[in-house]
A and B are shown apart, each in its own frame.
Chain A
Amino acid sequence: MKKFFSIGIIRGLIFQILGSFAGAGIFYGIRVLMGLQWKTEPTIVVGGLVGAIFFLVGQGSLRDWWHVAIGKEMPEAHEVKPYPGLRRYFEFTLDHKVVGVQYGVLSMVLLSVGGSLALIFRLELANSGLQILDFIQFNTLVGLHGMVLIISILTGIAALGNYLVPLLIGAEDMAFPRLNAFSFWIAIPASVILLSAMFFGGFETGWTGYPPNSVRGPMGVQMFFLGVYIAGWSSILGALNLVATIIRMRNKGMNLFRMPILVWSVFSTSFMAMTATQLIGLSFQLVMFERLLGMSFFTPSNGGNPILFQHLFWFYSHPAVYIFVLPGLGVISELLPVFVRKPLFGYKWVAMSSMGIAAVGFLVWGHHMFAAGIEDYLRVPFMYSSLLVAVPTGVKFFSWAATIWQGKVRFAVPLLFTLGAILVFLLGGLTGPPLGTVSTDLHLHDTYFIVGHFHDTMFGGFIFPIFAAIYYWYPKITGRKLNETLGKIHFYLMTPSFLLMTFGQMRIGLLGMRRRIADYDPSLNFDFTQLLITIAGYLIAISVLIFFINLIISAKKGELATGNIWKSRSPEWAILPSPAPAHNYEGFEFKLVGDPYDYGLKGSKYVELTTSSNSKSEAVL
């Protein structure tokens, strides 16, 4: 029992609960001393915030910094002895690979939570009429589904970045290992607070939280804002760490255009996350203040401007969609050459297209507001810039097609998911332009067409690639391969179901089905398609369940992965054993002797380890 409580995450969660009560109590106490009445909403917000801090304290995420602050000696990251076995995944650990896996597990947990929320409201939508939910339940589920999955995606890409980037660039670890672990651990209380919105009255704003609606609705919206706000910290700090790592920690000879391509996309993504996330935090924080302190930023009756919020919000939330998909697109570019046995076509162009998307991505937020009541002198330029995104995205597609061209394809499970990703992302990309031109968007805005479109981009840009990545790198983590047959069932069940789902969504959207409605007019004849969408949604869920079972079974029973199972040139496969050792390339000289994707070039290699000198690898500065 004592051992149970000594586990970091358990301690953290217990501390969070206690901290929430303590925070609420102290706040109430202060109010009583000031002669004020009980007020539920601020008390709960303060409780939530204090709870999050308590989590970090209890979990031990702040211990090292505290030690530095009081002048205690602190060991270097690589001198810290890791916890043995599975235990390390529940503790504050400095090994980037462990943190990567922690992120990955959190991402998958949130994926199943967010997905399950959708399964509930899809049941409601299977028929017209209200059957199992009331409005507030439905509205809360829809909003949480969106935001929980966003956090799942953010932690998923953090998993990719943390686990892979140091391995791929030949670094010992991340630039700031403690900050790295901190960024992960702060995401846990954030997720807990976010989910608690359900129990504080829910919220009826969707994931976008537009005021004045969010200023009026039930109190759960505060927990929603607070959760996202704290998760934002995780995202910003994690991104900062990755940027620093990529700039400063590359091994000898690893110049920018010889890095594995995934590193480029992680770099572009992190750059955006590091600079844009503040805006969603800020906009949500302002609404919180509006509710708590009666300040008025966005409510017109008190002199506020509701459109201002939308500008602030989308200034992050548009780049956010590129933040979500770029790592996934990087995975596609990374895996294709391995499985078609050909060099990545136009490496530099692909690398630069990520940066191009990141750059243009900052200039297009207005396309979410074409119907919001902004002037035409804004709508038209935003239309030009939005369509411009098609250019770097096109470069990626053409380069992938050219990479596959004349390739000798091996249809392993990771490749299947990569191809699925290309197909689905293509659909997502092609359904974009009708939303980008203003007049057609006036019809499509806030309909199920949008819902179909962004599920395409999220599945094509994140879900399919992350599954590909897990099938591909799982052996590097566990030393065992995932079961192929289960993997194929997963793929062949999920892909057609998914296509059915989004085609259905887009079709009824075009015909007039609005977003975020609990019930729809039976005279529109959407019942049958809605039923199909629901069935498809459940099939996807079953396929993912099969995947989870595979993850668990294969960890113990999977086929042992010895050597370079994918015949990859990348250093983590070419030179490291599976599972990867705790200290990446320690005791070896890491030498770059070629380009990353020269498949088909006889006798060439990307990296070599020379055992001769026992020196530790040094980072190129």
Chain B
Amino acid sequence: MKHLAIISILVIIFTLLANYFLQSVGLLPVEASEQATVIDKLFNTHFWIISFLFSLISVVVVYSLIVFRRKGDDEDEGDGKYITGNNTLEVVWTVIPLITVIFFSFLGAKSLAATKVIEPEALNVNVTAGQWYWFFEYPDFEIKTDTLFLPVDRQVKLTMTSVDVIHSFWVPEFRVKQDVLPGDNFVKELYLTPTVVGDYTVRCAEFCGGAHAYMNSPVKVMSKEKFQDWVDTELGNQPKDPVSKGQKLVTQNGCVGCHSSDGKEGVGPTWKGLFGSTQKLSDGSTVTVDEEYLTNSIVKPNVQIVAGYPANVMPSNYADLFSQDELSSIIAFIKSLQ
């Protein structure tokens, strides 16, 4: 009994320690898709079970080896206790694992189902794999590319086929993996929902000979706006005239949160009728609003402060953000607001 009590305590301690170790050592890559969240949950349950069973068996064995060890070198101290078995125990350690295993399989099935939830709005991408490249096609936009661009927080449906041998689509941060087979009858689908903006890599996971090691392609998960932007660029839908380009830029970069185009007052002065007008500055001087003034107030907003408005409110990093061309588009847009 005493032994049992000690062992139980040791098993609990070691289970907690082992699990803490497994959780804190950082075993999994960044969790960057909804599927990854589901799968990592199941991983955590696995880590618990592993910690417990490992502690159980090794504590019993090691404890026994130490506590009941042959003391001294006396070879004739005799044999161990004559215990041939115990059917009740055997039934217990058959039935309990059996129930656990069935329950676990049930959890596994649920987890699988959760990774396969299909959303109606999924973005379609056709994936083609070949020795040794990846190729992506967006049927809705008729775009073709060798980098996979994905919008964040939107499900994507990958429809995959291979031109030669079996490959496998895997982005470790997204967890899920699907072999890509040749043949029209073997087109496979994979659903994923990226959740974290960033750069990833799709790596071929099925040995496909030769340069299998280098069968990688970049995957870029972007904000929805950036993605739309990319689509527009690819399609040549990007506005060409400077005024519309500028309009797009000020919308995308949040200028319109502080500046109105229709005369309404905001955090910053309105842009309506700004160009060509005479602006009063906080130091009492006045300036005529021309292109040079506008450029300066965008890239160095805290040099000339408009009277009645606070300094240090407008972000001051636009100099790095915009190219010369973009700046002139923005100015062209402001100019157009008469």
Which A residues contact B (CB, under 8 angstroms)? 135-136, 139, 204-206, 208, 210, 212-213, 216-217, 299-301, 305-307, 340-349, 371-373, 376, 379-380, 383-384, 387-388, 390-391, 394-395, 397-402, 404-410, 419, 422-423, 426-427, 430-431, 433-434, 436-440, 442-443, 445-447, 507, 510-512, 514-521, 595, 597-601
Contact = CB atoms under 8 A, between A and B. Distances in A.
Contacts of A383: 105, 108-109, 112
A447 B205 contact: yes
Contacts of A300: 181-186
A451 to B, nearest CB: 12
Given A212-B182, A390-B97, A512 B210 contact: no
A379 B183 contact: no
Contacts of B25: 507
Nearest to B53: A430
Contact of B80 (A380, A438, A599): A599
A342 B79 CA distance: 7
A218 B184 CA distance: 26
A11 to B, nearest CB: 39
A398 to B, nearest CB: 4
Q: By CB atoms of chain A within 10 A, which of B29, B168, B176, B206 has the most?
A: B206
A205 B183 CA distance: 19
Interface string B83-116: 1111101100110011001101101110110111
A440 B165 contact: no
B90 A440 contact: no
A-B pairs with lowest CB-CB distance, top 6: A300-B183, A437-B108, A512-B172, A204-B209, A342-B80, A600-B82
Nearest to A402: B89
A345 B164 CA distance: 54
A346 B86 contact: yes
B309 interface: no
Contacts of A407: 64, 68, 80-81
Contact of B111 (A395, A437, A514): A437
A515 B166 contact: no
Given A346-B84, A427-B54, 8 more contacts: A139-B210, A212-B164, A379-B112, A380-B112, A383-B112, A426-B54, A439-B39, A514-B204
Nearest to B59: A401
29 contacts: A139-B207, A204-B207, A213-B166, A306-B182, A341-B78, A346-B87, A371-B179, A373-B179, A373-B181, A387-B108, A394-B94, A404-B61, A405-B60, A405-B64, A407-B68, A409-B68, A437-B112, A438-B112, A439-B38, A439-B39, A439-B115, A442-B39, A442-B115, A512-B203, A514-B205, A521-B201, A595-B84, A599-B79, A600-B79
Nearest to A513: B172
A408 B79 contact: yes
B212 interface: yes
B162 to A, nearest CB: 9
A205 B178 CA distance: 19
Interface stretch (B43-51, B249-257, B272-280): B43-51
Nearest to A523: B201
Given A349-B85, A384-B105, A433-B46, A307 B97 contact: no
Q: Which of A347, A398, A514 has the most CB of B within 10 A?
A: A514
Given A212-B165, A342-B80, A519-B214, A387 B104 contact: yes
B177 A511 contact: no
Interface residues of B, number: 84
Contacts of A439: 35, 38-39, 42, 108, 111-112, 114-115, 175-176
B328 to A, nearest CB: 38
Interface string B144-187: 00000000000000000000111010101001111101111110
Contacts of B208: 213
Given A212-B166, A514-B205, A135 B210 contact: yes
Nearest to A595: B84
- Among A426, A447, A512, A599, residue most surrounded by chain B Cβ atoms (within 10 Å): A512
A152 B168 CA distance: 31
Given A345-B84, A510-B27, A373 B186 contact: yes
B47 to A, nearest CB: 9
A210 B166 contact: yes
Contact of B164 (A216, A419, A437): A216
Contacts of A510: 27-29
Contacts of B201: 521
B213 interface: yes
B85 A346 contact: yes
B42 to A, nearest CB: 5
A406 B64 CA distance: 6
A300 B82 CA distance: 63
In this complex, the member of A136, A306, A307 whose beta carbon has the largest number of chain B beta carbons within 10 angstroms is A306
A394 B96 CA distance: 10
B58 A217 contact: no
Contacts of A307: 181, 186
Contacts of A430: 49-50, 53-54
- Among B64, B69, B176, the most chain A Cβ lie within 10 Å of the Cβ of B64
B31 to A, nearest CB: 11
Listed residue (A208, A344, A439) with the most chain B CB atoms within 10 angstroms of its CB? A439
Given A300-B183, A300-B184, A443-B176, A408 B77 contact: yes
Contacts, number: 286
Contact of A401 (B61, B178, B205): B61
Contact of A213 (B89, B101, B207): B207
Contacts of A208: 207
A213 B172 contact: no
Contacts of B49: 430, 433
B224 interface: no
A598 B80 CA distance: 10
Interface string B62-74: 0011001110000
A428 B69 CA distance: 27
Contacts of B68: 405-409
B212 A517 contact: yes
B57 interface: yes
Nearest to B214: A519
Given A213-B166, A442-B175, A404 B65 contact: yes
Contacts of B178: 371, 373, 442
B209 A394 contact: no
Contacts of B213: 135, 514, 517-520
B199 to A, nearest CB: 10
Contacts of A521: 201, 216
Nearest to B107: A437
B242 to A, nearest CB: 39
A387 B79 contact: no
B84 A343 contact: yes
Contacts of A204: 207, 209-210
A520 B172 CA distance: 14
Of the candidates A301, A397, A437, the one having the most CB atoms from chain B within 10 angstroms of its own CB is A437
B211 interface: yes
Contact of A306 (B28, B166, B203, B212): B166
Nearest to A349: B90
Nearest to A340: B80
Given A407-B68, A438-B108, A514 B203 contact: yes
B188 interface: yes
Contacts of A398: 57, 89-90, 93
B210 A395 contact: no
Contacts of A447: 205
A380 B114 CA distance: 13
A512 B216 CA distance: 13
Contact of A376 (B89, B112, B168): B112
Contacts of A135: 210-213
A140 to B, nearest CB: 11
Nearest to A394: B97
A283 B70 CA distance: 54
Interface string B278-320: 0000000000000000000000000000000000000000000
Contacts of B104: 387, 433, 437
